[in-house]
Amino acid sequence: MLNTLWTVLLLAGIGWGTLTGNARATGEALLEGAASGVSLCMTMFGVLALWSGILEIASTSGLMDAISRRMRPLLHWLFPRIPDGHPALAPIAANLTANLFGLGWAATPAGLAAMEALVQLEEERRSPGFRSENEEDNDTEDADETQIRTASDEMCTFVILNTSSLQLIPVTMIAYRSQYGSANPTAIVLPVILATSISTIAALIFCKVKAFLTNRREAPRIF
């Protein structure tokens, strides 16, 4: 979808420039944009390599495990169904910490590892040992086929938190602004803190309300 959108926008811009007699300016803008994109990628590659290396050192040294233990009350509140000591907790803590400092791309590896661990946890829950005694055996294949296509509450919460992305120090955006010659690259810190705080609070409220309604709907009725 995004590839189609960008292709349409690019062709529309080239077509409009040609029709209005600005074909030369359009070509120069395309070349300048390509050069600027390469320069920006090189700058961000350095930022990504630096913080990815720091996160890898922290993970290897056990610092991320220590951080996840410190964050356990918060993680338990966010993901109450994840068992203590589960492998998903460390990458979740690393991802949330990286996003907290606005590392953007550097948070991606930890996010992928966390999602893989959550998928494994969900597969364990769906194994025969986790099935209720009142489930019918002949419905196993249909139920499993349906569940495989359904994200767990933890997966949804994790994705929503990454989308809202509370940030205290937006390192990536500061790097972008510095690359493009901003006179004060750090001027966005306070607005970013306010905006991401509001988005994160809204995300948490949505997750908790949705989980409450789901649990209430699935809870057995006692008459």
Question: What pLDDT does 219 receive?
Answer: 53
Confidence band for 217, pLDDT divided at 50, 70 and 90: low
Confidence band for 194, pLDDT divided at 50, 70 and 90: very high
Confidence band for 126, pLDDT divided at 50, 70 and 90: confident
Residue 20 lies in a domain: no
Residue 171 lies in a domain: yes
Number of compact structural domains in the chain? 1
Using the predicted structure, report yes or no on whether residue 1 has a pLDDT greater than 60: yes
Which has the closest alpha carbon to 121: 134, 130, 109? 130
Residue 4 lies in a domain: no
Instruction: Tokens 């948490």: give the residue.
Output: 204
Question: What pLDDT does 10 receive?
Answer: 84
Residue 30 lies in a domain: no
**What mean pLDDT comes out for the span 69-74?**
84
Residue 16 lies in a domain: no
Question: What pLDDT does 201 receive?
Answer: 92
DSSP string, 19-60: HTT-HHHHHHHHHHHHHHHHHHHHHHHHHHHHHHHHHHHHHH
Residue 153 lies in a domain: yes
Question: What pLDDT does 141 receive?
Answer: 44
Q: Which range, of 30-34, 40-44, 136-140, averages the lowest pLDDT?
A: 136-140
Per the model's pLDDT, the better-predicted residue between 41 and 189 turns out to be 189
Query: How many whole angstroms separate alpha carbon 10 and alpha carbon 14?
Result: 6
Using the predicted structure, report yes or no on whether residue 52 has a pLDDT greater than 60: yes
Residue 118 lies in a domain: yes
Question: What pLDDT does 198 receive?
Answer: 93
Give the range of the structural domain holding residue 207, as residue numbers without chain letter.
40-132+143-218
Residue 12 lies in a domain: no
Instruction: Return mean pLDDT, the chain.
Output: 78
* CA separation, residue 197 to residues 161, 166, 190, 193 (Å): 11, 6, 11, 6
Alpha helices by DSSP H, listed for the chain, are: 2-19, 23-60, 63-70, 72-78, 89-100, 108-125, 140-148, 153-164, 171-179, 189-218
Question: Rounded to two decimals, what is the model's pTM?
Answer: 0.64
